[in-house]
Structure 1
């Protein structure tokens, strides 16, 4: 994502809007970048609601700093710079946004939230919507980088910015950016040992037929309260997390199902399900709706995000969705 030219049509129009105090034109020019900026903030923060807030903060700061824009960089670059620093300021104030050491990556990130695919940028060619850079495992891994190192890694290896451009955005030297990137890559290799690390290569976007089939079977088993069917879909080294209550644990398929039953699921009052297939973070997911006795409607209960490997569910991350208007899903069925 390099600047095509120093003063393009958007930049000239933006400067003219600033000089004439044309708020409508300012909004028109900046709003078109909202989705990609929100993805950027989400990668920095791993929390959808915080990403929304920081995107809005970005536009507020851009308005307040509008006269500082001289067209020396693309408008998009200027907005990314503001968004990155807004996230860094946020992280500096929040001591609950730094993962604590754990043997199981991500188990301590109770603030993790899913990202609705419908809010991703619409251009499928944009590297920033690549599945490999929005999946939960990637988002979790990035959180293990110190904030400024995290920013360097995202700007350099995900967005493909040159070192000089990243250094300017973060007010660092090129040498500091290069050093931070090297350290970040080491951590990412530790956090994602089985994943590729060349984030700028062509990447996948769509779910496979295998993934769709497993999600359908998962939903069918859930709606029929078929515990054996559910168990058959899970790997025996399942990585399970229920957020925000419970961090990640590794368990067998049998232990997972037994634990759900012991917690009350599939028992009377928690056995009338309807499920909807969806996708979040470019991953297959199921929205689980529960109807309790005496209630005429099924109410959104949990979002189950699945990572499927060789036809089995290797990771299941559940997000409590009660009373949350997440992902554009209807609250009731």
Structure 2
């Protein structure tokens, strides 16, 4: 077994696969915390089973097989993680009462830094494509059964053969192929039902910065201008979702606790290969505290979809503080300047 026989040797062999396994478990589960837990469980099971690793498959393939089955076990007792648009109800009234369901397991964003680190990899080094973890794709996966999800990811994302998938999941090849067909058909119907259109592969930094400035100025009219006419806004754990730039503007005017410029400060980061704006809201004491994360989908030079996450525990997953230091001071937020136009945006003086 060579290096697998020592703790240090085992860790040295499996650790390079951590990021891609995290992305794989996230696709399966839709949760950052759960994905991290499943990667740890994968390494633990691999360590315990190393004597049975005969080298007929690559170490990478072996780890993926373990990770997939670990996730399938977890999914047996865990419901799917939707976004509000996945609950099946029509758009909500932006002036109506907000219904919150914090007890439901909601789909979460995947911080880019956990998958790609702070530096952009060369194309031939990027083992996890951004398209494979796009929010719309992971949200659509939530409509599949656990087995369909596993088969589709192994076949269409990892490009495994039907024989490899059948062996990994203890299925016949015919059963694996049938599950794949059903998964593809269901995924196509979900996407068609949402009239899904492709997002810009790299969202324009200028647009994201302007969107942040509009919020920091609390310029609702400008926010509406930066949205597509058919934009969608959703914000778990609130169950409602909102369609159209005019309706979203009414939502912000009616429900947002900000009252004017300076109440909001924004910090840019990224998740699922998409821009994210961390919104901090000023309290009565003048302190800006974590309020929500806005994940943006950009299309045709406008913001086409915003997923707002009100679970402020997610700020920790992004390495973001719960409280911002006074505007204009030197602070640690600049560590998020890890790519094109990432970092602190338009901090008001």
Q: TM-score range, shorter-chain basis?
A: 0.7 to 0.9
Asked if structure 2 preserves the Cα contact closer than 8 Å seen for 1:205 and 1:282, the reply is: no
* Runs of 4+ that moved beyond 3 A: 95-101, 121-128, 193-197
Deviation at 1:318, TM superposition (A): 0.4
> 1:91: Cα distance to partner?
0.4
SS of the residue aligned with 1:304? strand
Show CA shifts across 1:233-267 (max 9, x none). Answer: 123322111112335x2323222122223224323
Q: Which residue of 2 aligns with 1:135?
A: 134
Partners of 1:24 and 1:82 in 2: how far apart? Answer: 20
Task: Look up the match of 1:112.
Answer: 107
1:285 aligned to which of 276, 284, 293: 276
Structure 2: segments with no counterpart, 5+ residues: 92-100, 325-349
Superposition map of 1:85-124 within 5 A: 85-95=69-79, 97=81, 102=88, 110-121=105-116, 123=121, 124=123
Give the secondary structure class of the aligned counterpart of 2:235: strand
1:95 Cα deviation (Å)? 3.6
Q: Check whether the contact 2:80–2:142 (CA below 8 A) recurs between aligned residues.
A: no
Quote the offset at 1:323 in angstroms.
4.5
C-alpha spacing 1:312/1:44, structure 2 compared with 1 (3 Å): same
Distance in 2 (CA, whole Å) between partners of 1:233 and 1:188 is: 30
1:313 corresponds in structure 2 to: 303
Structure 1 segment 1-333 matched on structure 2, within 5 A: 15-18=1-4, 21-95=5-79, 97=81, 102=88, 110-121=105-116, 123=121, 124-125=123-124, 129-193=128-192, 207-208=202-203, 211-247=204-240, 249-267=241-259, 272-295=263-286, 297-324=287-314, 325-333=316-324
What value does the CA root-mean-square deviation take over the aligned residues? 2.7
Does the C-alpha gap of structure 1 residues 327 and 126 become closer, same or farther in structure 2, counting only changes over 3 Å?
same
1:7 match: none
* SS at structure 2 position matched to 1:33: helix
- Residues of 2 paired with 1:266 and 1:95: CA distance? 35
Distance (whole Å) between structure 2 residues aligned to residue 104 and residue 73 of structure 1: 48
How many residues were matched structurally? 304
Partners of 1:146 and 1:272 in 2: CA distance: 43
SS of residue matched to 1:120:
helix
Q: Structure 1 residues 286, 192: closer, same or farther in 2, change over 3 A?
A: same
Bigger CA drift: 82-91 or 230-239? 230-239
Residue 237 and residue 274 in structure 1: after superposition, are their counterparts in 2 closer, same or farther (change >3 A)? Answer: same
**What SS does the corresponding residue of 1:331 show, helix, strand or coil?**
coil
In 2, Cα distance between the equivalents of 1:192 and 1:127?
26
Structure 1 portions without partners, runs of 5+? 1-14, 198-203
Rounded Cα–Cα distance in structure 1 between residues aligned with 2:171 and 2:320? 42
